[in-house]
Amino acid sequence: MTENNQGWVRTISLPEPALQNNTADADRLVSALKSQFNVPHVEVDLFLLRQLPELIRKWEYRVCCTVFRDHQKWVLAGVTDPQDTVPVMGLAVDLGTSRVVIRLLDLLSGRILGEASFDNPQISIGPDILTRIHYAEQAQGLPELNRLIINGINTHLIALCKAANTEPENIQLIAAAGNTAMTHLFLGLTPYWLIREPYIPVINSPGLVEAEKLGIKANPLARVLVFPNVGSYFGGDLIAGILYSGLHKKEDTALLVDVGTNAEVVLGNKNWIMGCAGAAGPALEGGVTRMGMMAGPGVIDKIRIDPETGRLETHTINEKPPVGICGSGLIDLAAQLFVSGMIDIRGKLNVAEAGSHLKEKDGLTVFVVVPAEASATGDDLFISQADLDSLVRSKAAMYTILETITGTVGVSLRDLSSFYVAGTFGSFIDPESAIAIGMMPDLPRDRYIPLGNSSLEGATMALTTSRCVHEIFEIRDQITYLELNVNQEFMNRFSAARFFPHTDPTLFPSVKVCRTI
């Protein structure tokens, strides 16, 4: 069951029927596909069968075939005229909880024909996945959530096709990666049991589904590959990340982390892969402080504090007037506060150093990041001690998870050859800042590799390189899932990590505080 490293679309030349070779049309085609793709069988749908005899004769026994596979079967997803200039297309989908990104591809050349990014329409039900899971319990809740995501994808894929001057009908393959809950909502499967002990998904490897059955407005026979998940808290987005990073093919052990409310960590190499997931809390995504928000125009994503003057320099997305701060900005802020001595190693505001930035709000001392007169909101943008405490807990949880998973297999964090940071959010994090606050290990900076939208890239790979789909299921089956036991050892590590950068400064030799307190 091998396949080479090519695409899913190939032009097949069939032997013409003869008395000496009077096998059936479909059997002749399947036999040619089997040898072209080097696979044991290729399924042909009844509706394709009905058209096949006329088409293969009209095309003079040359057929452009789009094949696709999942973990156990290969199917013929479509046939086209090899003389045709209309592109055979694929759609890569990143099923993000907050943002959904779709990418239209020419399957033959691999060229990107267009891309659209939009808020997950399910946000109208609830911004976080938990609210949606609860909503799905109501009558018609699940179909509504399913319809929202499918309609959202349809609206944007139709627009993408229009912009690319082509028809949705020409989309023959779709690959979608998302976390387990989003995958369930996308497929219309109940997420009810995902969040209830013992946390059971409906299915881990849904395999190929016809676009028509999902209501996706592509070619009705287009096949949708949904990235498999490992469990309720380890989804297809992670598998896509591993695929894109290449961690599963490396000689040296590498680590991949998806930073978020739930921190997912993968450790491994070409011989083994271990995965775990744990709650880090919403602070790392900027989800705690009143000024926290998702990345968008005017959101502060970078902060520097001048070590001499103590002045804050903020950068906003699109350089618009500041409206709030996103996760990477918050991590920057904490790091800068720490190295400038404005907070101490416990993350507590140091009035002596930070004095000019502090202000009284509702009886609490807060640190003003942007004063009202400079903000787009007309109000101060600030952070409270409680926000900082929350960030400390989150970064400590993150680091403890990293220590736990590496400790389990006896690998030192320092020995990691690569440290992949998955996800769009993760790619905004400045490793320098993440290291300064002790959220990520003090590795040479070039070992930090932001992956960007690794779900989208992984889905793209599945569509353009046939070998990759095999790898997806290999990766899934290879992962050993580590249940994080919050035991005494975990708590000890967590307590030690609740300092900037850590109680053991030898773990972070490169982190230097400018002003000692």
Amino acid identity at 480:
T
Closer of 231 and 281 to a second copy (Cβ)? 231
Among the residue ranges 190-198, 353-361, 388-396, 435-443, the one whose residues contact a second copy (CB under 8 A): 190-198
Token couple for 480: 């050993």
Binding of a second copy by 139 (CB under 8 A):
no
**Phi and psi based region of residue 400 (left: phi greater than 0; alpha: psi -120 to 50; beta: remaining):** alpha
Closer of 213 and 346 to a second copy (Cβ)? 213
Closer of 417 and 478 to a second copy (Cβ)? 478
Indicate the SS3 state at residue 198: coil
DSSP assignments along 385-446, one per residue: HHHHHHHHHHHHHHHHHHHHHHHHHT--GGG-S-EEEEHHHHHHS-HHHHHHTTSS----GG
Token couple for 367: 């640190």
Binding of a second copy by 26 (CB under 8 A):
yes
* Interface pick for a second copy out of 112, 199, 386, 414 (rule CB under 8 A): 199
Binding of a second copy by 209 (CB under 8 A):
yes
Rounded to a whole number of angstroms, the minimum distance from the CB of residue 69 to a second copy is 13
DSSP-assigned beta bridge partners for residue 92: 103, 175
Rounded to a whole number of angstroms, the minimum distance from the CB of residue 403 to a second copy is 23
Binding of a second copy by 202 (CB under 8 A):
yes
DSSP assignments along 251-302, one per residue: SS-EEEEE-SSEEEEEEE-SS-EEEEEEE--GGGGT-SSTTB--S-TTEEEE
**Which residues ranging from 370 to 429 are in contact with a second copy (CB under 8 A)?**
none
* Interface pick for a second copy out of 64, 79, 89, 189 (rule CB under 8 A): 189
Binding of a second copy by 54 (CB under 8 A):
yes
Among the residue ranges 19-27, 169-177, 215-223, 346-354, the one whose residues contact a second copy (CB under 8 A): 19-27
* Interface pick for a second copy out of 1, 5, 19, 487 (rule CB under 8 A): 19
Binding of a second copy by 442 (CB under 8 A):
no
* Interface pick for a second copy out of 43, 81, 344, 389 (rule CB under 8 A): 43
Task: Write the burial class of residue 154 (CB in 10 Å: 0-12 exposed, 13-18 middle, 19+ buried).
Answer: middle
Cα separation of 338 and 436, whole Å?
8
The residue count for the chain: 517
Cα separation of 74 and 7, whole Å?
14
DSSP assignments along 203-232, one per residue: -S---EEEHHHHT-SS-TT-EEEEPP-SBT
Among the residue ranges 14-22, 285-293, 394-402, 499-507, the one whose residues contact a second copy (CB under 8 A): 14-22
Phi, psi of 342 (to 5 degrees): -75, -20
* Interface pick for a second copy out of 117, 151, 154, 190 (rule CB under 8 A): 190
Closer of 51 and 412 to a second copy (Cβ)? 51
Q: Does a cis peptide bond (omega within 30 degrees of 0) precede residue 297? A: no
Give the number of other CB atoms < 10 A from CB of residue 355.
11
Binding of a second copy by 204 (CB under 8 A):
yes
Binding of a second copy by 201 (CB under 8 A):
yes
Closer of 168 and 235 to a second copy (Cβ)? 235
Rounded to a whole number of angstroms, the minimum distance from the CB of residue 198 to a second copy is 4
Tokens 């409206």, residue located: 323
Q: Binders of a second copy: how many residues, by CB under 8 A? A: 46
* Interface pick for a second copy out of 1, 140, 197, 487 (rule CB under 8 A): 197
User: What is the side-by-side order of every strand in the sheet holding 9-13?
Assistant: 9-13, 62-69, 74-80, 43-44
Contacts of 309 (CB under 8 A, 6+ apart): none
* Interface pick for a second copy out of 2, 5, 22, 165 (rule CB under 8 A): 22
Binding of a second copy by 25 (CB under 8 A):
yes
Binding of a second copy by 232 (CB under 8 A):
yes
Closer of 188 and 268 to a second copy (Cβ)? 188
x/- string (CB under 8 A) for a second copy, residues 248-287?
Answer: ----------------------------------------
Closer of 204 and 262 to a second copy (Cβ)? 204
Cα separation of 311 and 72, whole Å?
60
Amino acid identity at 374:
A
* Interface pick for a second copy out of 4, 6, 13, 41 (rule CB under 8 A): 41
Binding of a second copy by 1 (CB under 8 A):
no
Binding of a second copy by 305 (CB under 8 A):
no
What is the C-alpha end-to-end distance of the chain, expressed in Å? Answer: 64
* Interface pick for a second copy out of 98, 192, 389, 408 (rule CB under 8 A): 192
Instruction: State the residues that interact with a second copy by CB under 8 A.
Output: 17-19, 21-27, 40-41, 43-44, 46-47, 49-50, 52-54, 72-73, 187-190, 192-193, 197-207, 209, 213-214, 231-232, 483
